[in-house]
Amino acid sequence: MQSRRAHLQSLLGMAALAGMSGAAHAEDQPIPPEGIGHRIKHLSYSDIGGRPDSVQIMSNRNHLYVGHMFSDGVTILDASDPRRLRPVSFFTAEQYTRTHHLQSSDDLLLVANGANIVAMQSYSDQRGYFENSLADSITRRKSFRSGLSIHDISKPSEMREIAFLEMPGLGINRLSWMGGRYAHVSAHFDGFTDHCLCIVDLQEITKPVIVSKWWLPGMNGAAGEVSNAPKGKRYALHHMIVAGPLGYGAWRDGGFTIHDVRDAAQPKLLSHINWSPPFPGGTHTPLPLPGRNLAVVADEANAEKCAKGLFQIFVVDVRAPENPVTIATMPVPRDRDYCAAAGTFGPHNLHENRPGSFQSEQTIFATYNAGGVRVFDLKDQFAPKELAFWLPPAPAKLIDPRPNIALAAKTADLYVTRDGLIYASDWNAGLHVLEYLG
């Protein structure tokens, strides 16, 4: 039975849909320039119903579910015609609740609920968020919802909440769930400095249960631990991706971990390496390639005009999980002087080889902020090559409310379909539909 709270949240989503402007259809909006592509073709654009701030994208039943960075909600787009995306619904948990990350499988959608950090911090630029612990970031706290919401999306335009797992704290940043019993969640709990690993049992889908937590030493202030993160560094789980018995964790400036997760109640650390320093840090996405005993690990660029140096996408040999070794980096795009231009240049996220999507252990798709979408050939893991790229146009205006942010493209996430369509989001500038011609 649906709880009263979940029912009320469903009503909130319906009310938000009713309030959508009749003019807020992608086909009614001005279409920006198509950008510049090499072996990638631009097909269409959507301003996502007038909410162009977009982050993670999930696909189910010819519909896209797009999480927003600033707009406190999830927009549902009809993608039956990729050349004409059409917004059909909008779900919101409540004001100041950010739901920018989400995961889908088997007509279910898991959504991260947490503090809208941007609305509650008071740093003078974006680096403040990346260089301080989450607990220190909140200076203007508002009421928000913190935890994991689960939705029935069997009827795509009717995103119906069926469960909510409360997590007292500042909420979830990101989660990984490819279907199955366990979700691996990056969550902040009261007393912790930042996001830690939280494994959630979904065996009874309407009654999710936390079965374990794991964190780097120094993160649990409630237990008397003292943070050992150097000044200007942030130790926090961005997210973990699981392949078979192993979980691969990205801990921002805290490095890269491999865990044995066969016992969900007791995840076991097998190894921990950190390449920051000498590299800038920001470890963001840990993509396992289990068939090749490799992992591709992207560090998130988080300073404008390369102020911290160049951020990398690493290739890691994980044949011995107890002793991972970096063996290469993806080539840094050099088709122009990106560091001299406005905005942030460098990796953000990787296409994560989700079930039902394009899957490859040789062709790697990445977003690169002002560098757009990049496609790499990993046939030779010691000498990766760039295959294709697409550079987005600059946004017409900024949606990001933070001060001192450059008006520049910020390609954030991407979802690649089996037939080579690329859905690419931008924090400020909506959703582009591309076609990979490789």
Count of domains for the chain: 1
Q: Cα(60)–Cα(266) distance, rounded to whole angstroms?
A: 32
Q: Cα(286)–Cα(321) distance, rounded to whole angstroms?
A: 14
Looking at residue 138, what is its pLDDT? Answer: 80
CB 261 within 8 A of CB 199: yes
Q: How many CA atoms lie within 13 A of 437 on its CB side?
A: 10
Looking at residue 26, what is its pLDDT? Answer: 35
In a domain, 34, yes or no: no
CB 346 within 8 A of CB 368: yes
Show Cβ contacts of residue 14 under 8 Å, excluding neighbours closer than 6 positions. Answer: none
Looking at residue 51, what is its pLDDT? Answer: 96
> Tokens 């933070």 belong to which residue?
402
What is the identity of the amino acid at 198?
A: C
In a domain, 143, yes or no: yes
Phi, psi of 97 (to 5 degrees): -105, 110
Looking at residue 5, what is its pLDDT? Answer: 39
8 three-class SS: helix
In a domain, 35, yes or no: no
DSSP-derived secondary structure for 93-129? S-TTEE---EEEETTEEEEEEEE-HHHH---SSTHHH
Phi, psi of 254 (to 5 degrees): -90, -5
What is the chain's length?
A: 438
Q: Cα(229)–Cα(207) distance, rounded to whole angstroms?
A: 36
Phi, psi of 340 (to 5 degrees): -85, -15
Q: Cα(48)–Cα(26) distance, rounded to whole angstroms?
A: 6
- pTM for the predicted model, two decimal places: 0.91
In a domain, 56, yes or no: yes
CB 350 within 8 A of CB 298: yes
Domain CATH for 136: 2.130.10.10
CA 426 distance to own-chain centroid:
12
In a domain, 396, yes or no: yes
Q: Cα(366)–Cα(330) distance, rounded to whole angstroms?
A: 10
Looking at residue 16, what is its pLDDT? Answer: 39
In a domain, 431, yes or no: yes
Please report, in tens digits, the pLDDT of each residue of the chain (438 residues total). Answer: 334 334 334 433 433 333 343 333 333 444 567 889 999 999 999 999 999 999 999 999 999 999 999 999 999 999 999 999 999 999 999 999 999 999 999 999 999 999 998 888 877 777 878 888 888 888 888 899 999 999 999 999 899 999 999 999 999 999 999 999 999 999 999 999 999 999 999 999 999 999 999 999 999 999 999 999 999 999 999 999 999 999 999 999 999 999 999 999 999 999 999 999 999 999 999 999 999 999 999 999 999 999 999 999 999 999 999 999 999 999 999 999 999 999 999 999 999 999 999 999 999 999 999 999 999 999 999 999 999 999 999 898 888 888 888 899 999 999 999 999 999 999 999 999 999 998
- For 10, 105, 108, 158, 163, the CA distances from 152, given in Å and listed in that order, are 11, 10, 5, 8, 9
Closest C-alpha among 254, 149, 249, 147 to residue 194: 254
Phi, psi of 221 (to 5 degrees): -65, -30
Domain range for residue 409?
Answer: 4-29+41-436
